[in-house]
Amino acid sequence: MASFYGFEPKSRLFLGTAQYPSPAILADAVKASGVEIVTVSLRREAGEGGAGQAFWSLIRDLGVRVLPNTAGCHGVKEAVTTAQMAREVFGTNWIKLEVIGEDDTLQPDVVGLIEAARILTKDGFEVFPYTTEDLVVGGRLLDAGCEVLMPWGAPIGSGRGLNNVYGLRSMRAHFPGVPLVVDAGIGLPSHAAQAMELGYDAILLNTAVAKAGDPVLMAQAFAKAIEAGHQAFQAQPIEARDMAAPSTPVMGKAFLS
């Protein structure tokens, strides 16, 4: 199993905690999926009048590792400040770093992302950067101190799956020893399995489970698909080809004249 800053979870599924129909359904989905890492937004926890305390108690009771995020941040200063606040609230150096650069697609501002990652790693944070599949950006993030890369599959919440399979495959090949997590855009278990078949180490998703008709059943489906995709990668699948190849050999076949 890949190591994420020294932590080796048994589950390769990371689950977001927003948009669920109820806290009880969220808890059931987490339990059903077997996830050990969940993402939590500081904005949800730090509401007025102690709002969010019941939610935080629920997360603690699940016994999972919390990965706070800087969701909704559009600049370096905002992201860094949010991360520092999250460390105080959640008591962890882990941070999922988001610096959004475009409102319609929620595409990362990769320039700001690299700058914020450098600042936070120097401050002792262990950064999980939400990025694109750009190889140069990936290299800059590693130079900035990140030990994990989390390229998007597609825009957040779009459910489109893997928009750029070539780019994701290239990133896996270019950074063979780096833990890679596909983050955002996954809509179906088959999308998650496809990412794992490329050799990715984990999948982070939220909307596909939280907004499903049955979030608990969908969480189970994703857990199974991710494990199947990982096993397929380990089994070394056959290469695709343009022409047919008979599965039954013709040598020894009787010819009738």
pLDDT tens column, 192-213: 999 999 999 999 999 999 999 9
Please list the active-site residues.
Answer: 96
Instruction: Look at residue 56 in the predicted model and tell me its pLDDT.
Output: 78
Query: What are the C-alpha distances in Å from 94 to residues 7, 21, 126, 156, 220?
Result: 11, 27, 5, 21, 26
Scored b (16 or more CB within 10 A) or e, 184-220 reads bbbbbbebbbbbbbbbbbbbbbbbbbbbbeebbebbb
Predicted confidence band at 248 (pLDDT cuts at 50, 70, 90)? confident
Residue 16, marked binder = no
Residue 207, marked binder = yes
Instruction: Look at residue 134 in the predicted model and tell me its pLDDT.
Output: 96
257 pLDDT higher than 70:
no
46 pLDDT higher than 60:
no
> What's the predicted TM-score (pTM) here?
0.89
Residue 208, marked binder = no
Q: Do the bridges between strand 13-16 and strand 94-97 make them parallel or antiparallel, or are there none, so unpaired?
A: unpaired
45 pLDDT higher than 90:
no
Nearest to 193 by CA among 166, 223, 156, 234: 223
Q: If you count DSSP H runs as helices and E runs as strands, how many of each does the chain have, helices first?
A: 10, 8
**Other beta carbons less than 10 A from residue 170's beta carbon:** 16
